[in-house]
Structure 1
Amino acid sequence: MPQVDLVNSERDWFVECEKFDGAAAECLITVADGTVEVYGPSGEFCFALDETAIADYRAAFDEALSLAGRDRRERVSVSWAQTGDSGGNSSLNG
């Protein structure tokens, strides 16, 4: 497994992620030669997206983000309904 060698911080982004066991971790997204590469919490290479795959991945990821947002809103809405809170004073609004 290749380890990540950080050369240019303007081309590297650390993002919070979660390990299989639910433990907090940090993953890396980096750009090299026009290809987006993603590395897991232990620095292991996960996958790469070349120029033809980036648009498809972005569309799928945007849709997944939209669905995740809807799931969170529905969960909050159910929580408010169960407690009788209209949500007007909740810090979860927004």
Structure 2
Amino acid sequence: MLLHVLSKKLNGDLRLINDFCALNQVSFTSEYFFPGITDAFHKIKGAKVFSKLDLEKGSYQIEISALDRHKTAFTRPFGKYEFNRVPF
């Protein structure tokens, strides 16, 4: 069951907050080795171009696979909704 609530933003607008804890409990997890900082520095040695990624306003930027969107579905009196992008 997906729990969702409305929260007021600082500017007075409303934000929908979803609790995906139940989904996380039954989701498949894969282990991924995250390289240490030393390994990362060795890989970028000699590089001439670098970029910076600002994730301050990253909500709804990552697309959810069409095969997995049903997992984010919730129903309200006025319809059923599924996220197309990862919510914050």
Would you say same fold, with TM above 0.5?
no
TM-score, with length taken from structure 2: 0.26
Structure (1/2) with the larger strand percentage: 1
TM-score, with length taken from structure 1: 0.25
